[in-house]
Structure 1
Amino acid sequence: MNINNNVTHFSNMVDWYPWGEEAFAKARTENKPIFLSVGYSTCHWCHVMEHESFESETVANVMNKYFVNVKDKLYMTYIQLTSGTGGWPMSVFLTPELNPFFGASYFPPEDQYGKPGFITLLTRISDLWRTDPQKIKASGESMTSQLKSYIQAKPAGNQAPLDPVAVAAETYHHFVNSFDPVFGGFGSAPKFPTPVQLQFLIDYYMYNRQVSSRAADAQKALDMALFTLKKIAAGGIHGTSKYQNHIGSGFHRYSTDKKWHVPHFEKMLYDQAQLLSLYSSAYQITGEAVFADVTKDIIHYVSRDLQHDTGAFYSAQDADSSPSIGSSQKLEGAFCVWEESELVNILGPTDAQVFGIHFGCKKNGNVEPAQDPQKELVNKNVLAESGTIEDTAKAAGMTPTEVTRILNSSKRKLWDYRSSIRPKPHRDEKILTSWNGLMITGLVHAFEALQETDILKLAIEAAEFIYREIYNSTTHVLMRCYCQGASDIGGFIDDYSYLIQGLLDLYEVTFDENWIKWAYDLQEKQNELFYDTEDGGYFNVTKHDKSILVRMKEEQDGAEPSANAVSLRNLVRLASLLEEPSYASKAQETVHAFRLSLSKFPFAIPALVASFMLVSNGLKEIVLSGNPDDFRMREFQRIVSRVFLPNKLVSLAKGEGFIAQKNSVIKQIGVHANPVAYICDNFSCGLPIHDANALKKALSTDQ
């Protein structure tokens, strides 16, 4: 079972068991239902439910008497299908045979608004179980059967091939119809950054911008993505930055309102990683400084607050923290928000006034009651830009230069105060293989955009940490996570696919073939452990995991791209780079495995649609040859890196080595005395390019 996001319930009164046979055996022996609680250690509402219910002696007595209580994706799918929603915390009731029969997310402790509270729910379920357990077991078995049918559904045979243009267009139009033209993003509150959706829009632009019949839609796709990225960066969801807008850096998990103003304050590594890729791509495409600034800001945050001493990155920072040293109760956002009186005391009245104008601060706070149900943000201000520097200058009767000076000075003073006076939020110090794979990719993309070697060093250190601490180089098996030592939980499909992607990205900017060799070994192991040899695609867990009722093949994106979408890209890249025809076959089989989803609801799987676009458009391979230490060669490499193309594959031709052993074209090209580049499409390479300006011109026409 996936336990990477467990809430730690050490301080409460519930008799918790880890997901495993000990708990299952107890449930069978005592004929009790299982209550499964899943969250993550930095989740605000997980903390709320823990404090309200799990620390209550009354609630704990009921739970311990009538249930076997387990903390630990099958069950999230169950909640999504039965309630129409998902999210954390996840609360599911299971039979001793692990069949789900009831579940939802957060439960308040007491009845309210005509809905039962947690203790009422526990009592009713325990009464039903004692009265007729067989009826509940039958219901659970039926639900599991329905889940299996849903998960294992296959498209009808003898259908026409999928039209990738139509699939991508349907996905694009879905986002057009749900786009918020005022504040960016999609739909109304709450709003998530949805990196997967924004990345699809950017990819859609790149694939369609030169097709006359689709050029207008392509531009609209890019405009929606860029507008949203700017709105997110200016909002309270963005921890304020020394580089750009605010104080503290990084991005919070999501916004409780449609304006990106009041966030839930946890910060997750996977958000930083994916947004890092997005802002880097936006800068490569547009050259606008705002996107470079936010890229630097994210790197500043993760390297300062989430990096392990010897490489790799921790999982998250908590939403809640103590408002002051010695406080007995933690509050949401306490580390991040400000009262007007604090601003005056720290900044002085004049600077506080200017700062308050720019960031929308008010005497009684700027958080609406609807965004503060726990009354933790009363009189507090969440910083979000209310206008431009010029707007603030006009309102304050100053010049833009004076305002800029005051804002920069104020940010430094507030950061110094916050970092020295306020207790920092709890940091979840699990190092997850999958999320670090995403961060390696994000850092490589940032290096490509900014060409700063320190960024690349962070990516290399993270990869080396995983190889050293969480990987068995003899068996090629990854572990799921590390926390003061590697866990004994084998990696899941996302651990393999995300890391392979990161290693492929690392190779393309370093040309160190050790990364490709490792990626190949991992892909072979992933195929062995997870590939569905009958119907294509990858299962989430191995066939050896007996605690899972149904081996799912997930294609829908959540906070992260689906592992099958990432695996599809990896297969295409490795198939070409290493001339592995079996990988090309697996790529086609993976597309077919998710034909039903691609044809019926592609908007729910934008990452897979983006990978499908890659398959249908093919790779643009750029092969360089020459001495890597030659300054002219480094200029070639810089030019290639600086260009964003979603289907770009870069390699260095060598006369020998791991790639040359497998790729006849690269072996044939060999090492040239002077730098040369070949641009290849659809297995056909153009004439050699010997001049840096000519290479830049050739790539600019592609971009």
Structure 2
Amino acid sequence: MSEHSHTNRLIHQTSPYLRQHAHNPVDWYPWGAEALEKAHCEGKPILLSIGYSACHWCHVMAHESFEDEATAQVMNKLFINIKVDREERPDLDKIYQTAFHMLHQRSGGWPLTLFLTHDDQIPFVGGTYFPKTPRYGMPAFVEILQRVNHHYHQHAPELRQQNRALLEALRAEVATPSAAADTVLTAAPLQVGYQQLIRSFDPVHGGFGGAPKFPHPVNLERLLRHWAGSIQRGEPDPQAETAVSLTLRKMALGGIYDHLGGGFCRYSVDAEWQIPHFEKMLYDNGPLLALYSQIGQLTQEPLFHTVAAETGDWTVREMQAPDGGYYATLDADSEGKEGTFYLWTPDQVRALLNSTEEYLAFAVCYGLEQPPNFENHAWHLRVTAEASELARRLSVPPVQVAEWLRSARQRLFEARSQRIWPGRDEKILTAWNGLMIRGMAIAGRHLDRADLVASAERALDFIRAQLWKNGRLLAVYKDGQSRLNAYLDDYAFLIDGILELLQCRWRDGDLDFALTLAEVLLDQFEDREAGGFYFTTSDHEALIQRPKPVHDDALPSGNGVAAQVLLKLGHLTGRMAYLEAAERTLRWAWPALQQIPTACNSLLMALEDYLDPVQIIVLRGSEAAALEAWRDRCARSYAPHRLTLAIPTDARVPTGLLAERRVSAAPVTAYLCSGLKCLPPITTLADLDAELARSGATIP
């Protein structure tokens, strides 16, 4: 006999989030024809609930309402109930978050709770979290259900009129006019966007805005590139330096970073980075791993190197599946409460450490001698005194303090590993894997960590084996099943990851795969008339909108990354179709880049690459050691406007421009191109150094 008194259709889904609701008394459906047809036939409005497995408030609403028999009875009687995992269906999430914003003139979030018309799935009212009983100034969820149902059936004409207006607004949002063909694309949005970022920068604690505070990696990448460019021009920008380095330093020392296990939580609930929302997302940590590796290479500050190395180690240890793909998330909750896995008391720490001196150093460093900073008299670790300050305060050599802290962290890490772990969402998402492949490749290159490069290779091989079927990508893998047509982000982010991995080493077939992905991108996603790329393929399920994202959100804009990789591939291979598609994308996005450039940093970086094309360096050689030395010289430094490929003599390269760059009698030959201009072949490392210095491509 089953231990569960209820089982609904979600039991057949692979999504861990959907399966969490498979034994709710709610008669849940996954999004699909069965649910939509039932709503149409019965004339019942649809209750659409969108969330994800690591979402704390999704769990709260589930426990309060979806597991409650009385609430479920009302839901089942009045609505067709559809549950969506926003990580599997970002297309639905984008559409309905946009619709929520248009309906209510405020941003949404998760859980997203929307009520849709029964026949055309257009939302007419909604919210996010609703409490079971009246609180937070909101009525009880059951009361909302009853009001919505009554309004739906009593005010149908008004709702239809509202829906027509909403549908027109959704379509207009995609159909924004692009810049005229004779419009000159200039650098003006780059400077305006930079100034907007600086104005929103918190000069005390770093980051942008107040609480809750998110890392916004794409904003930081834009600032880092701006700072590096100012150094190359011989005019270092202290504002950019402060904004990016202070933010990354404060995050590294704050509680948003896991000081025992590595990796970053989703965001900080305060403006000081002290107390996080404890979920760990792959899509945050991939870009942050890249950033810390890059700024560490630029500044040579040990803290940045350490954080990058520890985050890479965390990824391999806790987020990589045995067969190579990277898992999606670690939950915020364990033992039914948020953050329990990460919290300590002084007595717990004292009992684990070797000596009074070791405890004192650790307690002062990580805030245990200060009042508790979490509920129930618990402490969440954050750095309140750095090692150099501790050495002065304790009158001991810095090396001794460093050893005490290393030993203490290791003991606490081992003890914490014996606790009940947060849930892990073990679905493998192509787009998020692309972000982490990029992060691991950049970290491997800048930290000289071949193991991180190997990890990225394993993830790429997994995607090719499991998520590349019949010439198309799939978006999700779980429990041996690959499913759902891939989205714009899947293609763009994966190409980006492959290009970074190719800068670490050449492997036959990888560039061919990137070029094949780019061809699908142009064939299935591009809006050839207006420019830019839709979020879904041309043969995707018909929805109330076909999104065409221009702004960055938690993830970089797929259009921005697509334009960046197409510019690199175009200059690398000489395929003009890629350069033309990238330019069309920028022209389509030009009005947005002029109006609110700070929301479009991925596209701003593409604009930067369009105006100042990436330097392409192709190295050919037969002596492996020499070829590696030349590659290291070109690829190790932080050079965001450079793409370096070191290709052995016997490698198989795609036909075209790249194949023309052959070896000479010298052990290594370098081919340098910028834009449509190439230099004569270079055959000595001294000449290569001189050219890199002359072109300003290397930061002193």
Q: Same fold (TM over 0.5)?
A: yes
SS at match of 2:110: coil
CA distance in 1, matches of 2:500, 2:28: 41
1:699 to 669, 692, 699: 692
The match for 2:105 among 75, 79, 83 is: 83
Does 1:429 find its partner at 2:426? yes
CA drift of 1:489 comes to 1.0
Classify the secondary structure of the residue corresponding to 1:661: coil
Q: Would the aligned equivalents of 2:179 and 2:590 in 1 still touch at CA under 8 Å?
A: no
Q: Describe the superposition over 1:306-363 as per-residue Cα deviations: whole angstroms up to 9, x where unpaired.
A: 11102111001110002xxxxxxx1101110112222233236554343222111257
Number of the residue aligned with 1:546: 541
Tell me what 2:639 maps to: 645
445, 455, 459: which one aligns with 2:456? 459
Instruction: State the Cα deviation string for residues 560-583 of structure 1 (Å, max 9, x = none).
Output: 111111110111111122211111
Q: 1:277 touches 1:445 (CA, 8 Å); kept in 2?
A: yes
**Pairing 1:134–2:157 present:** yes
* Alpha-carbon distance in 2 for matches of 1:270, 1:636: 32
Structure 2 unaligned blocks of 5 or more: 1-12, 85-93
- Secondary structure of the corresponding residue to residue 482 of structure 1: strand
Contact 2:180–2:587 (CA under 8 A) maintained in structure 1: no
1:636 equivalent among 604, 609, 630: 630
* CA distance, structure 1, for counterparts of residue 665 and residue 382 of structure 2: 54
Residue 156 of structure 1, CA deviation: 6.6
What SS does the corresponding residue of 1:335 show, helix, strand or coil? helix
Cα deviations across residues 402-461 of structure 1 (Å, max 9, x unaligned)? 4333222211111111112x1111110000011111111111111210222111111111
2:503 alignment partner, SS class:
helix
Question: Is residue 407 of structure 1 aligned with residue 405 of structure 2?
Answer: yes
State the partner residue of 1:326. Answer: none
Task: Say if 2:308 is the partner of 1:287.
Answer: no
Q: Does 1:343 align with 2:365?
A: no
Instruction: Say if 1:483 and 1:384 are closer, same or farther in 2 by CA, change over 3 A.
Output: same
**Which residue does the alignment assign to 1:333?**
339
Is 1:662 aligned with 2:656? yes
Equivalent residue runs for 1:290-439 within 5 Å: 290-322=303-335, 330-347=336-353, 350-361=357-368, 365-367=372-374, 377-396=375-394, 398-420=396-418, 422-439=419-436
Q: Is contact 2:506–2:647 with CA below 8 Å preserved after alignment?
A: no
Whether the 8 Å contact between 2:530 and 2:584 is mirrored in structure 1 is yes
Q: Which 10-residue stretch deviates more, 488-497 or 6-15?
A: 6-15
Q: Which position in structure 2 is the counterpart of 1:274?
A: 287
Within the candidate set 83, 101, 113, 1:71 is matched to 83
CA deviation after TM superposition for structure 1 residue 129, in Å: 1.4
Contact 1:653 1:669 survives alignment (8 Å): no
**8 Å CA contact 2:618, 2:661 repeated in 1:** no
C-alpha contact 1:363 1:379 (8 A) present in aligned 2: no
| Contact 2:131–2:138, Cα closer than 8 Å, also in 1 | no
Q: Check conservation: 1:6, 1:71, Cα contact below 8 A.
A: no
Contact 1:635 / 1:692 at 8 angstroms: preserved in 2?
Answer: no
Report the secondary structure of 2:655's partner residue: helix
User: Following the alignment from structure 2 to structure 1, what is the Cα–Cα distance between the partners of residues 297 and 357?
Assistant: 39
In structure 2, distance between residues paired with 1:194 and 1:433:
21
Change (3 A) 1:256 1:360: same
Offset of residue 110 of structure 1: 2.4
Q: Where does residue 325 of structure 1 map in the other structure? A: none
2:245 matches 1:226? yes
The answer to whether the 8 A contact 2:666-2:683 is kept is: no
Tell me the equivalent position of 2:525. 530
**1:120 paired to 2:143:** yes
- Give me the CA root mean square deviation: 2.3
Q: Name the counterpart of 2:30.
A: 18
Residue of structure 1 equivalent to 2:669: 676
Number of matched pairs: 671
Matches of 2:114 and 2:334, distance apart in 1: 28
The correspondence for 1:153, drawn from 170, 176, 179, is: 176
Query: 1:314 & 1:434 partners in 2: Cα distance?
Result: 12
1:304 alignment partner, SS class: helix
Q: Distance in 2 between matches of 1:209 and 1:453?
A: 29
1:52 aligns to 2:67 (yes or no) = no
Residue 487 of structure 1 aligns to a residue in which SS?
Answer: strand
C-alpha change, 1:349 and 1:128, in structure 2 (3 Å) is farther
C-alpha distance in structure 1 between counterparts of 2:481 and 2:524, whole Å: 20
User: Retained in 2: the 8 A contact 1:358–1:385?
Assistant: yes
What is the distance in 1 between the residues matched to 2:495 and 2:284?
19
Query: 1:109 & 1:21 partners in 2: Cα distance?
Result: 30
What amino acid does structure 1 have at the position aligned with 2:628? Answer: R
Q: Structure 1, residues 43-76: CA drift from partner, whole Å, max 9, x if none?
A: 1121112112212223212211111111111111
Amino acid aligned to 1:192: F
SS at match of 2:568: helix
Q: Is the 8 A contact 1:493 1:563 kept in 2?
A: yes
CA displacement, residues 506-542 of structure 1 (integer Å, 9 cap, x when unaligned): 2232222411111111111122211112111111112
Matches within 5 A, 1:114-263: 114-155=137-178, 157=180, 160-163=183-186, 165-211=187-233, 215-216=235-236, 218-240=237-259, 247-263=260-276
Shift of 1:657: 6.8
Partner of 1:327: none
CA distance in 1: counterparts of 2:185 and 2:142, whole angstroms:
50
Q: Distance in 1 between matches of 2:396 and 2:142?
A: 58
CA distance in 2, matches of 1:660, 1:409: 51
- Distance (whole Å) between structure 2 residues aligned to residue 666 and residue 343 of structure 1: 60
Query: Map of 1:476-487 to 2, 5 A cutoff?
Result: 476-487=471-482
Task: Report the Cα distance in structure 1 between the residues aligned to 2:174 and 2:337, rounded to whole angstroms.
Answer: 40
- What is the CA-CA distance between 1:266 and the residue it aligns to? 0.5
**How far does residue 239 in structure 1 lie from its aligned partner after superposition?**
0.8
Give the distance between the partners of 2:507 and 2:577, measured in 1 at CA.
24
8 Å contact from structure 1 (residues 88, 106) kept in 2: yes
Q: Write out per-residue CA displacement over residues 262-314 of structure 1, whole angstroms, 9 at most, x where no aligned residue.
A: 00111011111111110111122112222211111111101111111021110
Q: Which residue of 1 aligns with 2:613?
A: 618
Contact 1:653 1:660 (C-alpha < 8 Å) held by counterparts: no
Offset at 1:498?
Answer: 0.9
State the match for 1:490 in structure 2. 485
Shift of 1:467: 0.6
Question: How far apart are residue 398 of structure 1 and its match?
Answer: 4.8
1:372 is matched with: none
Letter in 2 for 1:585: E
* Equivalent AA in structure 1 for residue 596 of structure 2: F
Unaligned runs of 5+ in 1: 241-246, 323-329, 368-376
Tell me, in whole angstroms, the C-alpha distance in 2 between the residues paired with 1:693 and 1:9: 64
Measured after TM superposition, the shift of residue 6 of structure 1 is 4.5
Aligned AA for 1:631? A
Aligned residue identity for 2:675: N
Change (3 A) 1:159 1:107: farther
* 1:3 Cα deviation from its structure 2 partner: 10
Equivalence for 2:89: none
State the partner residue of 2:553.
558
Could you tell me whether the CA contact under 8 Å between 2:564 and 2:606 is conserved in 1? yes
Q: Return the alpha-carbon distance in structure 2 between the equivalents of residues 211 and 510 of structure 1.
A: 30
More deviation in 476-485 or 542-551?
Answer: 542-551
Change (3 A) 1:576 1:158: closer
Q: Distance in 2 between matches of 1:509 and 1:267?
A: 27
Distance 1:199 1:156 in 2: 26
Q: 1:653 to 1:349 in 2, by over 3 A?
A: closer
169-178 or 667-676: bigger deviation: 667-676
CA–CA distance in 1 between the matches of 2:189 and 2:34?
A: 47
User: Structure 1 residue 673: deviation in Å?
Assistant: 3.5
